[in-house]
Amino acid sequence: MSDDIQKVILQLPASAEYVDIVRLNLYGIASKMGFSYEDIEDMKVAVSEACNNSVLYAYDQVDGFVDVIFEVSADALSITVKDEGESFDNVASEERITLHDKELSDVQVGGLGFYLMQALMDEVNVISESGKGTVVTLTKRLLLSEERV
């Protein structure tokens, strides 16, 4: 594979029953790339969390869509989960989810998903803007040998 990035793009209804489709696509792409079973399972949990956040928080029972973009390069897989629903800024303050300046014990249950994503992936980037929705990008690097640190 060259340095080119190949993209696989899914647009799904923002509904929990469609999260399985994302996991199945992830499994197919990641296994074809040569990721280990453990890495694939980690990525499946992380992408499920990102999708569930869109389903639970973004649309608040209103029909919407979630875009999932898999970006395949020679040495990494990035998965972007995008919605155009309510940003996390508009979630009630006691439920507000943020990655910064929080102790694990201070985080509401919904916020634990972000800690989980960070633990399972090499990079997690979250952009949430009022009126524009949320974009979560998860990246896992492919290690061809067992050179894990």
How is the chain split into domains, by residue range?
6-141
Average pLDDT, integer, range 131-139: 89
What is the CA 8 to chain-centroid distance, rounded? 15
pLDDT in tens, 38-63: 999 999 999 999 998 887 766 665 67
- 113 versus 82: the higher-pLDDT residue is 82
**What pLDDT score was predicted for residue 109?**
45
Look up the pTM and report it.
0.78
Query: Is the confidence at residue 140, as pLDDT, over 90?
Result: yes
Q: Which residues contact 56 (CB under 8 A, 6 or more apart)?
A: 110
Contact between 77 and 68 (Cβ < 8 Å):
no
Residue pointed to by tokens 């897989």: 77
Residue pointed to by tokens 């800690």: 115
Four-point Cα dihedral 133, 88, 115, 73, nearest 10: 10
What is the CA 144 to chain-centroid distance, rounded? 23
Which residues on adjacent β-strands are paired with residue 124? 138
**What pLDDT score was predicted for residue 133?**
84
CATH superfamily of 6-141: Histidine kinase-like ATPase, C-terminal domain (3.30.565.10)
